[in-house]
Structure formats: C-alpha cells, structure tokens
Structure 1
Amino acid sequence: MQEPTFVLVHGAFASSFSFAPLQAELGLLGHRSVAVDLPGHGFAATFPRAYQAPQDLAALAAEPGAVKGVTLADNAAHLIGILERAKRNGPVVLVSHSRGGMTATVAANQRPDLIDRLVYVSAWCPVDLPVGAYYAEPEMATVDNAGLASAMAGNPAELGLLRCNFRTGDPGVLAAFKAAFLADGTDEEFLVLLNTFQPDENLDVGTPDDRARAGSWGRIPRTYVRLAGDTSVPPAMQDRMIREGDALTPQNPYDVRTLPGSHLKWLVDPAPAARLLAEVAAM
C-alpha cells in the first residue's frame, strides 16, 4: 500500500507556517505532508508598514491588502489544484483546522475523487446551516470575541477584508487572545504563536450551496478530531458538526477522536496529533 500524503489546511489569520512543528513530527514518523497557503496567505500576505513598530494605527486602518476579494470559491480552487498534484503520488488525507474546514468541505463537494480521507480538527463543516448562521446558535454562546473585536483595524466593508492588529500591546486584548487561542500554553508560547499570525483575512464565507453534500462529500471516509478545551469552536459546536454530518450520511459516520487542549495547543505541542493522524491514515 502506498503511503498517503497529508494535505494540511490552515484556519483564519494563519498560514502554512502554523504547521511546521506538526510536519516535523509527521516526518519523523515517516509521513510526507504538504501545508497549504490559501490565496493571500503565507508569503502572499500583506504586512503593511503601518503594522510594524512604532505602529501607525490610522494608516493601518486604511492600507489595502492582498486578500481583498478572495472568495471561498478561490480557496477551494487553489486547494483542488494542490490535491490534484498530491494525488499523483498516492492516497491523500486532507486535514483542515477551524475556518479551513469550510474550504475542505467545498473541495470535497467538488472533487471527492481526490481525497481518500477527510480529517476535521475542531473545524467548520456546515450541514444544516450556512457557516455564518452557526454563530447565533446556542453552542456558540460561550465564545467571547471581545478581544478580536477590540483589535480590529479599519472598516471591513471599506477595506474589503478583516484586519486584526495582533501586534497590539494592550494587556487586556492580549489576555483575551490567549484565553481564546491558547489558554493552556505558557505566555512565551502564546507570544511566539501570535507572531505567526497575519493581520488580514478574507470576508467571504460562501453560500448555502457550500454546505456538505451527501452525494460527494458524504462518500469520503472522514474523521473529526475534537479539541476538548477549545473555547473558539466549543466542544458543543464540534459535536453538533459531528451529529449533522452523521445524520446526512448515516451509512458513513465520522470516526471521532479527541485531543485535550485549546484551539491551538495541538499545533504548539504536535506529537500527540501526529500520532493520531498516523493512526487515522492507517485505517
């Protein structure tokens, strides 16, 4: 049997850089992997000069960004191109985290032939509702977005993108970020992680047609990795994603796994996740 290629899709304000420690662990276990930069991310991202210290917040609120106008459809088309190349080398395990689950789901809807297993790690896989609608549901009631909101720069409608000042020195905002992303990490780990974030993210979350489809997405074997201490996508919402997917294709339910830790702890301490992914790939 050919060894699979893990294709890794990042979440919001992130990039392929997030996966470097996980890729090292996968490599040491003998597995190859490809970390994707979605359009406008990684070295294609915009880091305005006003974002550097000393910051010019007024300029930061107005400078254009490369991710403006990028759509979920653009993300999916980019990912499909990578999956096509990866598939030439054997089986493909598509792993998505957080907002990256939306892109993975659209790609799976369109090209299930390119994916041998889907793995969602505390990721969005909308079935019953469009992604935006889930934020008003009871499972998201515990999520505190105050830190993110207070660090937003500029008007998204005018910029055509979301821009967040992750380089703020405001102690309250930094504490809110840590609580949301890495409450179980050290302050040093948190600051290192925060400095891997990029300031801009695209606005588009797709359409109701971008929800999981039984006839294509539903044919692919899939795993959902719950993050038990996640406060950004709470376990209650993760469990709802699982229930909805299982109800859509009861003949092909999720293989459910659980890792301890926050939304980003699995990337900071990646050895358990690498072992889990290796087990899943061998199924």
Structure 2
Amino acid sequence: MNPNDAFRAEVEANIDGLMEDTDLQALSRVWIREATPYKWSYNFSWFGRPAIQLPNDAWALQELVWKVRPDLIIETGIAHGGSLIYSASLLALLDLCDATEKGETLDPRKPKRKVLGIDIDIRQHNRDAIEAHPLFPRIEMIEGSSIAEETIAKVREMASDYKRILVCLDSNHTHDHVLAELEAYAPMVTPESYCIVFDTLIEDTPAWLGGERPWGPGNSPKSAVHAYLKNNPDFEIDSRIDKKLLITVAPDGFLKRIG
C-alpha cells in the first residue's frame, strides 16, 4: 500500500473508532450545550463578515465542496452574509484550480460558479455589506420566504443552468418549515452531492436552550430530516461526517443523494 492510501486507511479507521465511542460523542454534545449560552458560534467571521457557524462544520463544507465540485450552492438563511462569503470563496478557489489545470486565464468578473442565498428578511446593513464585498460577483440573493412558491420557482429557474448543485438549509428551524424546504430544495441536489441541514442538534439539546424560539425537541430540523427520509430513498444520512466532527450542529444533517 502506498503512503497516501495508507494514510487514508488510517483516517477511515480513526472515524470507525469515533463512531463506536458513544461516550465521546455524548461528551461532545455536552460541550456544545455548555458553550451555547455564550453564543460561541457568533464569535467567528470569514473575510470580514460574521459567519454564525461552528468552525468544524465550515471545515466539513470545505471538504464536501472539494469532493463534489458544485457549480451552484443554494443556501437558505443569510443573516450577516458570512456563510455566503465563505461559500463564494470556496467556489472561487475551485474556479482557480480548474483554470490552472486547463492553462486558462481566470476572469474574476465572470465567475463560473455561484452561491444563491435566500432569506425572508435581508436587513439593509447586511445587504450593503455583502454587495460591497469583493466576492459579491459570485453571489445572488433572493428576499422572500424560502418555502413560498414564488421563491422556489425563482430558485428552480436559476438552478436549471448548473450541472452540480449542493444545498445548505439554515433558516427557520421548525419541523414543518425544514420539511417544506427539504421537499422544495433536496430534489435540486445532484447525485453524489449533498443537502446539509443545519441545527439538527436542536433535537438533542434541552428545550430551554432555544429560549422563546418556536422550535425545540420534537419540532426541529432533525425531526424533519427523519420524516423526509421515510419517503425519499434517494437520500441517506452520511453519519461518518458528523461523527468525525464531534463538535457539530448537524448530527444526522449531512444528507447524500444516492439516487
């Protein structure tokens, strides 16, 4: 076995061990529970914009973007725009790699890959900051409910121009809303790509952590994921991702399209 294959085999064995270590998995959930009241995920930014994500989850997205090489990333939930900027930067690097391999000159004013963000309320100060960012040419935004027919129709129209699509769902976290998002956007995911459902961890944390928000255990993104999968065998949970991350908001949330 060559050294590269040997290292990959070692990594897979590491992940096998993590999946079997239920104590360590439980300890990771305790860690997140204790960090959540301090809004730990609010403390990070990407290229100048707040990105309300755990660093481990951002790293996982980077690995998937390199593996899938999507032409379009669809994201529900924009907030401060850091996640859009992050995805745009990853797609910019993919375009750069493609151009380098082909010996072509990359024109940053005409990006091949794009990010589409959807939010029911794009606050003006966030919109201004996103539109002023150097990576904005790679970003499209739609203001409206992610589950409104008009919004879905606009997204479908844009998605029809792209061959490989990855989806990230991170807006309203109630069961009904996330299930409606899955029904609308998961079919746009191309085979071997992913639909990432964030904040499935809500199902496994105390209800009091959600404060006055309308979601909680039994009414969460994870409950929506499992309801969706009952009738959609084209997707399966890639448990190896969240088990290797340990610290993640998306247990059972990395859905791979297999059909």
With the length of structure 2 as denominator, give the TM-score of the two structures: 0.38
With the length of structure 1 as denominator, give the TM-score of the two structures: 0.36
